[in-house]
Amino acid sequence: MEAIRYVRTCAKYVDEKPQYFNCRWNVAELFREHNMEDINVPEEDRVWVRGWFPLLFELSCIVSRCKLDVRTRGLTVLFEIVKTYGDAFQSHWWKDLFQVLFRIFDNMKLPEQHTEKAEWMTTTCNHALYAIVDVFTQYFDILGPLLLEDLYTQLHWCVQQDNEQLARSGTNCLENLVNSNGLKFQDSTWDKTCQCMLDIFNCTIPSALLTWRPDEGRDGKESDLEIISNENGDPSRQGILKRSNSMYSIQSNSTSPSSADELKMSKAKVGSDKLFASLLIKCVVQLELIQTIDNIVFFPATSRKEDQENLALAQADLLHIEAGLSEQQREEQ
């Protein structure tokens, strides 16, 4: 943690003393130290190659390799540096930086264990996604023309993952991005945005709900043991009844399901559970995206104000109509 704090101090030094990174005499020594060929780095890029990029890249490595508390701290400092000193970055520097940032979501770098992968997506990927959108909003005039399509691709990836929190965050970040920067969008930008939404809709349609059929048991019937166990309803005896090898079993070995059948049924259940978990996430994304479009087209604050105004007008019209009807009834009488 202390080392990460010093990285922030180094970033401040790079920002205040860029001339120290532009000295030509230092180039050959720098590249020999890293076992790289001595290449000709333009003077305006030396502060990036020697100062900013090493700092940001090493922070991204911390995010990719360390335990949760350390990588969370590293991620926070990484984006603090970007937000604080991004005004000094040139356009092609931003491209290099986002190649590093998007590596956080790289499937090849995610943990292999399901639990660790789920934690990674819920914490680190989720945090990084919101931070990236914040950076985009802060520097949209520069980043929009350069990297908006890449960001939409990343959002599309997020909603396709089997992680509900990350999928929700993908649609929420899309909403935040459009609501914060929509006034700056050109027609072509809106076309890309609408296409991104359409792609998300299409890839998250839970079509398997229309074709799924439950796996039938053996011959489509319950076993005698299952029927007796269900009718009995005595938890203390069900354990005995289900042990086909027990001397107290009421079911003979000849009629008990084989180990292969049990394994097959177990795998089928796991497959069904996984399928429905995936379908549930798709349904959630569909609902979230519908809400996102509603919030974009009818911005919440504006929509509530308009609803109040429309309600007041409707009530006034209703009172006017009631008064007219009352007056007409009196005249008829």
pLDDT at 331: 74
Q: Are 3 and 9 in contact (CB under 8 A)?
A: no
Is residue 165 located within the same domain as residue 229?
no
Identity of the amino acid at 30? L
Averaged pLDDT for residues 179-199: 93
User: What is the torsion angle, in degrees rounded to the nearest 10, for the CA atoms of residue 285, residue 131, residue 133 and residue 172?
Assistant: 20
pLDDT at 318: 79
Is residue 216 located within the same domain as residue 170?
no
Tell me if residue 164 falls in helix, strand or coil.
helix
| Domain span holding position 305 | 298-333
Q: How many angstroms separate the CA atoms of 32 and 92, rounded? A: 25
- φ, ψ for residue 118 (rounded to 5)? -65, -40
Q: Are 128 and 105 in contact (CB under 8 A)?
A: yes
Q: How many angstroms separate the CA atoms of 333 and 321, rounded? A: 19
Is residue 286 located within the same domain as residue 237?
yes
Q: What is the CATH number of the domain that holds 197?
A: 1.25.10
Averaged pLDDT for residues 126-141: 94
Give the residue among 28, 38, 72, 34 at the shortest CA–CA distance from 53: 34
Residue 198 has pLDDT above 90, yes or no: yes
Is residue 22 located within the same domain as residue 109?
yes
Is residue 288 located within the same domain as residue 229?
yes
User: How many domains are there within the chain?
Assistant: 3
Is residue 93 located within the same domain as residue 204?
yes
Segment among 5-19, 83-97, 117-131, 225-239 with least mean pLDDT: 225-239
Identity of the amino acid at 63? V
Residue-wise pLDDT tens digits, 153-170: 999 999 988 888 899 999
Segment among 29-38, 46-55, 70-79, 101-110 with least mean pLDDT: 29-38
Is residue 178 located within the same domain as residue 305?
no
Distance of CA 5 to the CA centre of its chain: 28
Is residue 167 located within the same domain as residue 282?
no
pLDDT at 107: 64
Is residue 285 located within the same domain as residue 308?
no
DSSP H or E stretch at residue 86? none
Take residue 70 and report the two structure tokens written for it: 């350390």
Residue-wise pLDDT tens digits, 205-255: 888 777 767 665 544 444 443 443 444 444 444 443 344 444 444 444 444
Last residue of a domain, one of 210, 240, 262: 210
For the chain, what percent of residues have pLDDT higher than 70? Answer: 71
